[in-house]
């Protein structure tokens, strides 16, 4: 607490000085703003793109190097089970945009089978994820 020396009684001032707290909060905000893009990244190593675009509200489907297919926190045994799951989501009124994230080491045939499964499930939009290429 601070002392007020303006008055003759030298009474104790009951106000809290919030300036140090505001300074700490601003520093924490800056740290989180810088750290968040570093922490949020794709679960696989993506290829690079020349002209990237961003999408909102999507279902992220991941194809790992081992051939494993994952979406919505679930792992699927194959493209057919993925198509059934997406069809069930569609029947429930869920979104129909898919972002396909395939590892660099995945064979194109595995990616094609996932794309075919998405089309069989009547997905309206499919986007392929890629990393931004560094400007040269």
Burial 118-129 (b: 16+ CB within 10 A, else e): beebebeebeeb
Residue 99 sits at φ, ψ, to 5 deg, of: -110, 115
Cα–Cα dist 43/17, whole Å: 45
The reported pLDDT for the residue numbered 98 is 86
Going by C-alpha positions, the residue among 36, 76, 47 that lies closest to residue 59 is 76
Per-residue pLDDT of the chain (136 residues; tens, 9 = 90+): 455 555 566 777 778 888 888 999 999 999 888 887 766 666 667 666 666 666 567 788 889 888 889 888 888 988 888 888 888 887 776 667 888 888 888 888 888 999 999 888 888 888 888 776 666 5
The token pair that represents 52 in the structure block: 């990237």
The reported pLDDT for the residue numbered 47 is 65
Could you confirm whether domain 48-132 is CATH 3.30.420? yes
Coil, strand, or helix at residue 110?
helix
Coil, strand, or helix at residue 81?
helix
- Give residue limits of the domains in the chain: 2-39, 48-132
The reported pLDDT for the residue numbered 26 is 94
Q: What is the DSSP letter of 94?
A: -
The reported pLDDT for the residue numbered 91 is 77
């Amino acid at each position: 607490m601070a002392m007020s020396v303006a008055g003759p009684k030298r009474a104790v001032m009951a106000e809290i000085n919030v300036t140090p707290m505001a300074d700490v909060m601003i520093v924490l905000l800056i740290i989180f703003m810088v750290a968040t893009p570093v922490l949020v990244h794709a679960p696989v190593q993506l290829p690079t793109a020349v002209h990237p675009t961003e999408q909102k509200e999507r279902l992220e489907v991941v194809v790992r190097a081992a051939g494993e297919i994952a979406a919505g926190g679930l792992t699927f045994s194959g493209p057919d089970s993925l198509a059934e799951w997406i069809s069930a989501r569609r029947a429930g009124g869920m979104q129909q945009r898919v972002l396909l994230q395939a590892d660099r080491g995945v064979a194109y045939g595995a990616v094609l089978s996932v794309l075919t499964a998405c089309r069989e499930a009547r997905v309206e939009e499919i986007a392929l994820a890629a990393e931004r290429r560094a400007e040269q």
